[in-house]
Structure 1
Amino acid sequence: MEYRRLGSSGLKLSALSFGAWVTFGRQVDTAAAREMLAEAHANGVNFFDNAEVYAHGAAEQVMGEALHALALPRDGYCVSSKAYFGRLPDPAPTQRGLSRKHLTEACQQALRRLRVEYLDLFFCHRPDQDTPVEEVVISMDSLIRQGKVLYWGTSEWPAAAITAAAAFARAEHLIGPQMEQPQYNLLHRERVEQEYAPLYAQIGLGTTTWSPLASGLLTGKYAGGVPEQSRLGQNDYEWLRESVLGADNGRNARRAARLPALAAELGCTPAQLAIAWCLRNPQVSTVILGASRVAQLRENLGALDVHQRLDDAAWRHFEAVFAAA
């Protein structure tokens, strides 16, 4: 495994990490989670990502039970949670957002579900137009000083909001945001590569990127339709299905269709190639993998070998063919 610093911090995360979105608490029960977490950890993965909203809290509960059963050394791995959407399907006003009340209670609830004494990473899952950024910074600084959180950051925040939070923290001698969790893949790259570009040097921003496979589109699994048991086939993910398959007048699907042949030419699977491409960006601290079974996880972990094996000439060829679609 390769390990990378989380931005300018001293924390080193595995270049490939493992997340619970969509799968844990839905497709994955505690036994399956335990098996995959053990496999990930055995391969050097030291960061496990989660959020209050994933399966309405069940994802964190499943992960917590699995980690407890595995009895992994707590100083040997990192775990995260995210707050904004709330845990309940129809949350009350005080059960969502980034108010100090919700951030405090969401943190405490995540600690109980994950069965840990502190969160290594705690993210503000989306910007909150109803909460001043000053309140968010003060709340997160307080949680860190209480020992409940070690690092805090944002997820899918615009660069201007991250800059404002960092500036307020610096002016008030508070602990500012250390990381951002954005979507990043071959079909969704502008924010990480362009919008956030000044922040890597200015505030030492790290990134824990999600959806390296564009919710499966880059694996080729949707070329013949949407399988019922797939991520996009689930009933309450119509919004995700539309955003993935209906975007850009089908251009994304046409570009994704190039991957199988390119992967075969380069001696790997489409999933490994897409994940390895994400690893090429030095501003990516870790790429969060998702999986519903051990075989899928093992395949995805093989992306690290592809990343280390392919040279610049191979990647230039890949980019030229992929972009031409």
Structure 2
Amino acid sequence: MTTPASPPRVTVLFPVYNGEQYLREALESLLTQTFPNFSLLAIDDGSTDSSLEILRSIKDPRLSVKVNPTNRGLINTLNEGLELVQSEYVARMDADDIATPYRLEEQLAFMDAHPDVGLCGGYYERFTDTESIVVRPPTTHEDISYALIFDNVMAHNTVMFRRSVLERYRLRYDPAFAYAEDYELWVRFARYSRLANLPRVLVRYRFHPANTSSRFKTEQEATAAKVRHIHRANLGLEPQVGDALLHRQLFDMRFEGDLRQLNAAGTWLSKLYRIGVWRCRQNPVSLFVQFNRLWYSACGKLADDGLTVFLQFLRKPYGMFGNPLYTLKLAYRCWKRTKIA
């Protein structure tokens, strides 16, 4: 294959650390893209297996290999790569995943057509040796911004950055947010640029015991909780002590608090509703219906406290003006003092 005549518009940033098992398949999926004018920057981060030999065996002029003599870790390696990239766009890929053939072509076309979007991801297929599922995150900026309140909804190995946004705001991965560094970066991106996910599978994500999300699940969740707090504050939610726990319990429909905490939960939902509608442009009717169900569930957990809980339920608009069936069911539960198990 000959070197493209024009400078590559996209650089795929491809960190590798002891990835020999799936490395060739990942590389093949990138080097057979329908869009050929890209560069592939592989950074071997001190691998002790045959990863570096595999990288050096690939004779494609689009592939360049940088070697870290010792393992510097993923965040340092990614930031090192971002400093080296000169192309208009930067795409991310991991050494154990598989890009769909049209991935770069479709993302590039979307980014060219939407200059206000600085970060673009997409659907992905999460697979193991025995099963697979297509994950369909929200696609519009408003829906992504709202969903980031709850969790990371942009898969790291599907994203493409606009380098001008990265450089203008000096956006890099923050070592203080290890194991959720991508989530934290998306939250900062959302302050300066619009986000998007393409409604098409861009990557096949191989889930196995060596994944970061498998090996460091506890640490990842603790860091992600910090990121959620930051994003809520950015949106104007002004989180108070205990709000994160209430938030998780409400949306898991597993409220465990007392009457005082129930009042705090109702206040939190009210604040979240305003932010969802006014800042994140969520459908007010759909959000109201959802919050009516969540509020009924939380109040139902304390129905054994009687009519006090029912009156608390009615003090909120998503209680008073919600589904009449929920209102009747809660009234009956409070009368019988039978809580939701």
TM-score norm. by structure 1 comes to 0.24
Q: Which has the higher strand share?
A: 2
Larger of the two Rg values belongs to structure? 2
Higher relative contact order (CA 8 A, sep 6+): 1
TM-score norm. by structure 2 comes to 0.23
